[in-house]
Amino acid sequence: MLARPSDAGTRLREEKHSKGVWILVSIAAVSSLYLLLRPSDDAAVVRFWTFDVNHRNHYRENIAQWQAQQSFTVDLESLEYEALDQKLMSAFHAGLPVADVIEVEMRLAHKIWLGPVDSVGFSDLREHLETEGYLRRIAKEAFAPWSVDDKVFGIPRDLNPVMLAYRADIVEAAGIDVSQLNTWDKFIEAMRPLVQDLDGDGSIDRYILNMPESLGGVLSTLIRQGGQEYDEDNFPTLNDARNIRIFTTLADWATGKDKVTSDVTPFQGTFFRLFSEGHFLCVVTPDWRTANYEREAPSLAGKIKLMPLPAWETGGRRTSVWGGVMLGIPKTTQHFEEAWALAKELYLTPAAAEDHYRAHNIVSPNKEVWFRSFYDEPKPFFCNQPLGRLYLKLCDDLPPRSPSPYQQQMEFEVMTSFVKLRRIVQQKGLETTEQIEPYAREILNDAQRNLMNEISRNHFHSVKGKIFQK
Amino acid sequence: MKTYKSELLFIQKVLTYILISIFSLIIIGPFIWLFCGAFKNNEDQFNFLFLPMGEGFLGIEWSRLTLEHFRLVLSGLNFGNSMMNSFFLASVISLCSTFFSAMGGYTLAKFDFRGKSLCNGIVFLSIIIPPSLLLAPVYQLLYNLGLLNSYWALLLPSMSSALGVYLFRQTCINSVPDELIYAARIDGAGEWQIFRHIVVPIIRPMVGAFLLISFLATWNNFLQPQLYLQDDIKLPLSVAISQMRGAYSTNYGAISAGTIVSVAPVMLLFLLLQKEFITGLTRGAIKG
Amino acid sequence: MKQPFHPLVPYGFLSPFLIVFAVFMAYPIINAVYLSTQQTFGPDAHTFVFLDNFKEIFTNRLFYRAVWNTTFYTLGSIVIQVPIALALAVMLNQPWLRGRSLYRLIIFSPALIGPIFVGVIFSIIFQKRTGLLNKVLNDLMGWSLDFPWLQEHAITSLLIAGSWMWIGFSTVYLLAALQQVSPTLMDAARIDGAGSLQRFRYITIPAIRPVLSFVLLFSAINSLQLFELPFILFGYQGGAGGEGMTVVMYLYNSGFSYGDLGYASAVGWIVTFMSLIAVLVHRRLIHYFES
């Protein structure tokens, strides 16, 4: 490999420089030229960020129509979830540039309340919402996640009621009438015969319920349904007795020879593929998620129906809540009035409500539109069920959503605790809920301690003598 | 006896070829899979492990392949722009860093001056300090300097590299004869001229290797651009692909295409500079 | 011999490096000491907490998880990668081998693409039911299609992806070292009747020891900084229970996801401490094997 000296000598005279130098100098020259000539962001007056490509595609048309009547233009961009997270945090921390209107999801927004309340980068919109009457017209529950210390940091988009989506084709072919199955116990027992090894290779290929463990969402949703995540002061209550019971049951479902749940991460191609194949029959589904099924798994058309969640106890709550999205206006905006006008146009008009429903199946928190007939239109994809009406019926019984900045840690503890419990149950071969419960209690007590410890460590709240309040 | 030995050698040869080939296959398999995935439409993505089988040439259904993913990645997602950003950052940083590191390494190898051992110590310290210790304080420093969200935040700290100084120092000690420098000085050459016209040509393989090392390191760097840059238009490919993976998590074809587009340029560059790279890289370590 | 150069020349030549060092290394290191006694919310809001950060770190289970993961990954990747790389290098060094540079190129190629891109590729490969790994293993040996790589075997997955990426790198180094082993010495030993294993043990290994030692140290230090791969494969929280969490990810989360730069600096000091231990252990080992 080493060149002989004479070799090196002749080469030395021929090319004094590494070939790499010339290649890189030309690359540098071309790319610098490109960067210099690249048109810089022209001053679209109001800049709008959303965390979802599909939202962007849908807003694009609305905004195009709307801004034709306005004196300013809107620049619409969609950012990836984690990217938006990163950008917002650095913008609010370090004063980096940020858009004028931002659509964010709950978990992300909550981290922003983690510091001193005065340093929250979003404007307090309470006054505007109050004087223009929106505080009355919009369901109270919708504001809860965005309200800290009497300040309202965002306009709510949704209530996000939850139902259970099930493969009607398979379930009905098996002669099961789900309308009678009003508790989880009855539901699982009735469905149990459907858990099968279809191709006879010795491994089960059909489960009742998909319960992803790598994501806190579904687990937390089920806990919220029949248990309690936070007390009135928004302190976590993860080791609540009801939570322990729910955890115990879930761990029982996910283990043993009579395992009835699959663990497929949602939001990935694999999920929709396996849902279509009938690898699992039921999915915990908030309103916003139904549109994903239509888009990503078209082959499921006419095969899925929705039903209220079976209750944890007879007569118990038949729904839950999962997710939440708001529009916020950063304090740094130079165009508050324009931003506010845009935000209202996108979220608060009756037309916007209809639009959110038609595009994403999301029901509006604006009570004044609840009687509208578009919510009653049958949806062919869901066997002609009137999706909106079904979800709206559940909106009176929603469990609360908390503004706690520790929501992410909460979901992390929930999923971690569950995986831990599931493993213990597997290793020790525990069969009955009585055997599982003591372990569930211990694990949740532990998780609760972790959360409280995390909260008590936050000097920014304790310095002010109070922790976040409703 | 003799045939026994030659038979043994034959078996050894066959075994070696088999093992190396299996290993190469393991290495190259994911690449092939990725490549196939980038051309498959999303329906075929799960139906066929590699390319869709059918009636066509070689048993492959060529008509089912699509360029849609590349179109989405290059025009829809603006990867072309990100690629230019990556090219800019990687080329400028590798040129500057190689140049300044070579100067530093040469100085530490061939000059005697006060504080030399201190400087050597600094070089070793800089290599040993893990970059993660510096993340938070450098972020704060860049904030205080008002450099966040600007390319300066990435360019300035990378202007010179301790590893580079070290590698060039070793190379100069090993391959630049003192006599050559003394002779040049006696001939009245300036220090700059000596470095430029005598030293640089001798350490040319190391220059090529280090250029490529720092080019690769910058191209593949994720953490710093992710933390320091804000505007989408400024993002390099490493950050762009991680964002795209989140936004298009269901579209494996597009993810594959995006990865290929991001990886192809460095592969090409490596093919061009392969020889110098391996010579320079390994020589530094072997003699060092 | 007298050196007639201007006394300022060396300082001039070194100044770019020294300036970068002073501004982006020395000052931040000093600042890291101060920061580690603060609780911050972004670079602006901060309060003094003295040693609370360290106290919290040492009682935090997630942190221990991260340390354990990182250590396990580091040791695992050395144990897996170095022997395989050495074996490959020896095979590639056979004089009669054809296509050596092609093989070398193939084996080295994953090291060219950064951990981010490797992460993206392996996030699809490790999928249950649809991923390449489960599908191939299922075809070849009836492996379960549902094998939960990312869900249940986080560190194993990391080791697989990491080895895929880095083995070629070590191989190229070791191969270059093997090519420097003096052929005359080998011939002499062969004539003296030394078997191939003996030759390997008593001639090859001592000859490549410096490079071997470099490869070991490099793998260790590199593994301790593991961030991008698990960040992509498991998300920034490292999956359920932090199964895929590493120390640098932990640092990133506290500092940049939650904005506590003070806490992140404190974690940074612990990473530094771990690297120092790696260097010391490495030195001890070298010393032990040389005497």
Task: State which residue of chain C sits closest to B253, comparing Cα positions.
Answer: C124
Q: For B255, which of C35, C120, C136 is closest by C-beta distance?
A: C120
Q: Which chain B residues are within 8 Å of C23, Cβ to Cβ? A: 141, 156-157
AA letter at A358: R
The mean per-residue pLDDT over the stretch A97-109 comes to 88
ipTM of this complex: 0.89
Which residues in chain C have Cβ-Cβ distances shorter than 8 Å to A98? none
A151-184: burial string, b at 16+ Cβ within 10 Å, e else: bbbbbbbbbbbbbbbbbbbebeeeebebeebbbb
The answer to whether the CB atoms of A92 and C236 lie below 8 A apart is: no
Q: Give yes or no for residue A466 having a pLDDT over 50.
A: no
3-state secondary structure of A183: strand
Strand partners, A103: A327
Distance CA B136, CA B115 (A): 30
Compare A331 and C186 and report the one with higher pLDDT: A331
Q: Which amino acid is at B47?
A: N
With cut-offs at 50, 70 and 90, classify the pLDDT of residue A461: low
The pLDDT assigned to B286 comes to 53
The total of other beta-carbon atoms located within 10 Å of residue C155's CB is 18
pLDDT at residue C3 is higher than 60:
no
The answer to whether A46-156+325-396 and A162-322+401-463 have equal CATH topology is yes
- DSSP track, C222-279: HHHT--HHHHHHHTTTTSGGGTT--HHHHHHIIIIIS--HHHHHHHHHHHHHHHHHHH
What residues of chain A lie within 8 A of the CB of B231, using their CB? 41, 97
**Given an 8 Å threshold on Cβ–Cβ distance, is A214 in contact with C241?**
no
Q: Is C48 helix (H, G, I), strand (E, B) or coil?
A: strand
User: Do the chains contact at B134 and C24, CB–CB below 8 Å?
Assistant: yes
Best residue in C37, C39, C41, C253 to probe A by mutation, most A CBs within 10 Å?
C41
The residue ranges of every structural domain in chain B are 2-66, 70-287
Residue C14 within a domain? no
> What b/e string do you get for B149-187 counting C-beta neighbours within 10 Å, with b at 16 or more?
bbbebbbbbbbbbbbbbbbbbbbbbebbeeeebeebeee
Q: Please report the pLDDT score of residue B285 as a whole number.
A: 54
- Interface probe for B, chosen from A13, A80, A82, A299 (most Cβ of B below 10 Å), is A80
Q: Do A457 and C240 touch (CB under 8 A)?
A: no
Whether pLDDT at B4 is above 80: no
Q: Is A321 helix (H, G, I), strand (E, B) or coil?
A: strand
Which chains touch C (3+ CB pairs under 8 A)? A, B
A138 φ, ψ (degrees, to nearest 5): -95, 140
Check whether A312 has a pLDDT greater than 90. Answer: yes
CATH at residue C202? 1.10.3720.10
pLDDT for res A43: 60
Region C255-283: mean pLDDT is 91
pLDDT confidence of C115, banded at 50, 70, 90?
very high
Reported as type and span, the H/E element at residue A151 is: strand A151-152
Is residue C69 scored above 90 in pLDDT? yes
Which chain B residue lies closest to A16 (C-alpha atoms)? Answer: B201
Task: Kindly list the distances between the CA atom of residue B40 and the CA atoms of B73, B255, B261, C279, in Å, as whole numbers in the listed order.
Answer: 14, 12, 16, 47
Higher-pLDDT residue of B117 and A114 is B117
Q: Could you give the CA distance from residue C4 to residue B281 in angstroms, rounded to a whole number?
A: 33
| Beta-carbon separation of B29 and C132 below 8 A | yes
Judging contacts by C-beta atoms under 8 Å, the chain C residues touching residue A119 are 41-42, 44-45
Place of tokens 């395992």: A259
Residue of C1, C2, C5, C14 to mutate for B, most B C-beta atoms under 10 A:
C14
Mean pLDDT of chain A: 87
Does residue C253 form part of some domain? yes
**Distance in Å from the first CA to the final CA of chain C:** 37
**CB environment A350-370: b (16+ within 10 A), e (fewer):** eebbbbbbebbbbbbbbeebb
* Chain B nearest C-alpha distance from A110 (Å): 20
Nearest to C10 among B113, B136, B141 (CB): B113
Q: Which residues of B74-97 are buried (b: 16+ CB within 10 A; e: fewer)?
A: beebebebbbbbbbbbbbbbbbbb
| Chain C contact present for A274, CB below 8 A | yes
C148·A263 Cβ contact <8 A: yes
Q: Is the pLDDT of residue A468 over 70?
A: no
Q: For residues A328 and A125, give the distance between their C-alpha atoms in angstroms, rounded to a whole number.
A: 9
Count of domains for chain C? 1
Only one residue has tokens 């130079």, namely: A334
Cβ–Cβ contact C128 with A under 8 A: yes
Of C28, C164, C272, the CB nearest to B130: C272
- Cα A353 to chain centroid, rounded: 20
Q: Which two tokens stand for residue A394?
A: 């559940």
CA dist., res. B99 & res. B107, Å (int): 13
Task: Say if the Cβ atoms of B136 and C271 lie within 8 Å.
Answer: no
A116 CB within 8 Å of a chain C CB: yes
- Rounded Cα–Cα distance for residues A203 and A199 (Å): 9
pLDDT tens, position by position, B191-241: 999 999 999 988 888 888 889 889 999 999 999 999 999 888 899 999 999
pLDDT per residue as tens digits for the range C153-180? 999 999 999 999 999 989 988 988 888 8
Half-sphere exposure of A17 (CA within 13 A, CB side): 12
A96 pLDDT higher than 90? no
Mean pLDDT, range A136-142, rounded to an integer: 90
**A398-402, B19-23, C57-61, C144-148: lowest mean pLDDT where?**
C144-148
Give residue-wise pLDDT tens across range B233-251: 899 999 999 888 877 777 8
What order do you get walking across the sheet with A261-262 strand by strand?
A261-262, A207-210, A280-286, A162-167, A304-308
* Average of per-residue pLDDT across C199-215: 86
In the structure, what pLDDT confidence band is assigned to residue A459 with cuts at 50, 70 and 90? confident
Largest alpha-carbon pair distance within chain B?
78
Rounded mean pLDDT, C102-114: 90
Comparing A181 with C148, the larger pLDDT belongs to A181
Size of interface B-C (CB pairs under 8 A): 252
The residue among B91 and A7 whose pLDDT is bigger is B91
Burial class (CB in 10 A: 0-12, 13-18, 19+), C116: buried
Q: What's the confidence (pLDDT) of residue B283?
A: 64
- Which range has the worst mean pLDDT, A187-191, B146-150, C184-188, C243-247? C184-188
Q: Give the integer Cα–Cα distance in Å for B78 and B66.
A: 19
Write down the pLDDT at residue A10: 41
pLDDT of residue A172: 93
> CB of C266 within 8 A of CB of C36?
yes
Taking CB atoms and an 8 Å cutoff, what residues of chain B touch C24?
134, 138, 141, 156-157
Is the distance from CB of B42 to CB of C124 less than 8 angstroms?
no
Q: Which residues of B touch C251 (CB under 8 A)?
A: 132, 135-136
Interface contact A418, partner C, CB < 8 A: yes
Nearest CA-CA distance, residue B239 and chain A, Å:
9
Q: Checking phi first, is residue A302 left (phi over 0); if not, alpha (psi -120 to 50) or beta?
A: left
Cβ-based contacts of C61 with chain A (< 8 Å): 450
Q: Give me the pLDDT at residue B206, please.
A: 86
Sort residue B150 into left (φ over 0), alpha (ψ -120 to 50) or beta.
Answer: beta
Tokens (6 digits) for C122: 């392996």
Across the interface, whether the CB atoms of B227 and A17 are under 8 A apart is answered no
Nearest CB to B100 within list C17, C173, C227: C17
* CATH superfamily of the domain spanning B70-287: MetI-like (1.10.3720.10)
Taking the alpha carbons of A372, A375, A378, A379 in that order, is the dihedral positive or negative?
Answer: positive
How would CATH label the architecture of A46-156+325-396? Answer: 3-Layer(aba) Sandwich (3.40)
Q: Residue C254 domain-assigned?
A: yes
Amino acid letter, B18? I
Three-class DSSP category at B130: coil
Instruction: Among C49, C144, C240, select the one facing A415 at the smallest CB separation.
Output: C240
- The pLDDT of residue A199 is 82
User: For the domain A162-322+401-463, what is the CATH code?
Assistant: 3.40.190.10
Contact A91 B247 (CB under 8 A): no
Residue B49: its pLDDT value, please?
76
Of A83, A98, A269, the CB nearest to B45: A269
**What torsion do the CA atoms of C170, C176, C182, C184 make, to the nearest 10 degrees?**
110
Contact by Cβ (8 Å): A156, A324:
yes
Helix segments in B60-203, DSSP class H: 68-71, 79-110, 116-128, 131-145, 152-155, 162-175, 178-186, 191-193, 200-202
Per-residue pLDDT band for A6 (boundaries 50, 70, 90) equals very low
CB–CB contact A450 C42 (8 Å): no
What region does C238 belong to: left with phi over 0, alpha with psi -120 to 50, or beta?
left
Which residues in B lie closer than 8 A to residue A52 (C-beta atoms)? 247
Structural domain boundaries enclosing C209: 52-290
Burial grade of A344 (CB within 10 A; 0-12, 13-18, 19 or more): middle
Domain-embedded: residue C76: yes
Q: A112-143 in b/e burial notation, b at 16+ Cβ within 10 A?
A: bbbbebebbbbbbbeebbeeeebbeebbebbb
Query: Rounded mean pLDDT of A72-94?
Result: 83
User: Where are the domains positioned within chain A?
Assistant: 46-156+325-396, 162-322+401-463
The answer to whether residue A4 neighbours chain B at the CB level (below 8 Å) is no
Nearest alpha-carbon partner for B50 in A54, C30, C139:
C139
d(CA B222, CA C252): 12
Q: Can you say whether residue A369 is alpha, beta or left, with left for phi > 0 and alpha for psi between -120 and 50 degrees?
A: alpha
What is the C-alpha separation between B195 and A430, in angstroms, rounded?
A: 75
